[in-house]
Amino acid sequence: MAEKIVIFDTTLRDGEQSPGASMNVEEKLRVAKQLERLNTDVIEAGFPIASEGDFEAVETIAKHIAGCTIAALARTDITDIDRAWEAVRHAKQPRIHTFIATSDIHLKYKLKRTREQVLDDVVRAVSHAKGYTENVEFSAEDATRSDLEYLCQVIEAAIEAGATTINIPDTVGYTIPMEFNRIITTVKEKVPHIDRAIISVHCHNDLGLAVANSLAAIEGGARQVECTINGIGERAGNASLEEIVMAVRVRKDLFAFYTEVNADQIYPTSRLVSTITGMVVQPNKAIVGTNAFAHEAGIHQDGILKEKTTYEIMTPESVGIPKSSLVLGKHSGRHAFRDKLGEMGYELTADELDTAFKRFKQVADQKKVVYDEDIMVIVEEEIFRVPDKYKLININVQSGTVTIPTATVQMEMDGQFVQDAGFGDGPVDAALKTIQKITKSKSILVQYAVAAITGGTDAQGEVTVRIEENGKTAIGQGASTDVIIASAKAYINALNKLEYRKQGLPGL
Mean pLDDT across the stretch 449-464? 76
Cα torsion angle, 59, 100, 220, 170, sign: positive
Mean pLDDT across the stretch 5-14? 97
301 alpha-carbon distance from chain centroid: 32
Mean pLDDT of the chain: 90
Per-residue model confidence (pLDDT) at position 485 = 94
Lowest model confidence (mean pLDDT) among 26-35, 66-75, 211-220, 455-464: 455-464
For residue 417, the cross-strand partners are 412
- Exposure pattern of 10-19 as b/e (b: 16+ CB <10 Å)? bbbbbbbbbe
Per-residue model confidence (pLDDT) at position 329 = 66
Per-residue model confidence (pLDDT) at position 19 = 72
Q: Is the predicted pLDDT of residue 78 greater than 70, yes or no?
A: yes
- Cβ neighbors of 122 (< 8 A, separation 6 or more) are 76, 100, 138, 154, 157, 158, 161
> 159 vs 291, which has greater pLDDT?
159
Q: Where are the alpha helices (DSSP H) in 101-176?
A: 104-106, 115-130, 148-161
Phi, psi of 251 (to 5 degrees): -100, 55
Mean pLDDT across the stretch 56-82? 98
Per-residue model confidence (pLDDT) at position 401 = 87
pLDDT grade for 302, boundaries at 50, 70 and 90 = low
Which stretch, 94-108, 308-322, 487-501, has highest mean pLDDT? 94-108
> 437 vs 507, which has greater pLDDT?
437
Q: Is the predicted pLDDT of residue 170 greater than 80, yes or no?
A: yes
Q: Are the C-beta atoms of 256 and 274 separated by less than 8 Å? A: no
Angle between helices 148-161 and 177-190 (to 10 degrees): 50
Q: Are the C-beta atoms of 318 and 365 separated by less than 8 Å? A: no
Mean pLDDT across the stretch 121-140? 98
Tell me the pLDDT tens digit for each residue of 323-359.
Answer: 533 346 666 778 778 877 887 778 888 888 899 889 8
Per-residue model confidence (pLDDT) at position 325 = 37
Tell me the pLDDT tens digit for each residue of 174-219.
Answer: 999 999 999 999 999 999 999 999 999 999 999 999 999 999 999 9
Per-residue model confidence (pLDDT) at position 508 = 39
pLDDT grade for 505, boundaries at 50, 70 and 90 = very low
**At residue 314, what is the residue type?**
M
Q: Are the C-beta atoms of 480 and 460 separated by less than 8 Å? A: yes
- Cβ neighbors of 459 (< 8 A, separation 6 or more) are 367, 452, 453, 481
CA-nearest of 414, 413, 410 to 393 is 410
pLDDT grade for 139, boundaries at 50, 70 and 90 = very high
The DSSP element (H or E) to which 343 belongs, if any, is: helix 334-343
Q: Is the predicted pLDDT of residue 375 greater than 50, yes or no?
A: yes
3-state secondary structure at position 98: strand
CA-nearest of 53, 127, 199 to 506 is 53
62: left (phi over 0), alpha (psi -120 to 50) or beta: alpha
CA distance 230 to 281: 7
Per-residue model confidence (pLDDT) at position 373 = 65
CA-nearest of 151, 182, 179, 178 to 167 is 151
149, with CB counted inside 10 A (0-12, 13-18, 19+), is: exposed
> 71 vs 472, which has greater pLDDT?
71
Per-residue model confidence (pLDDT) at position 378 = 83
Q: Is the predicted pLDDT of residue 248 greater than 80, yes or no?
A: yes
E runs forming strands in 21-92: 42-46, 69-75
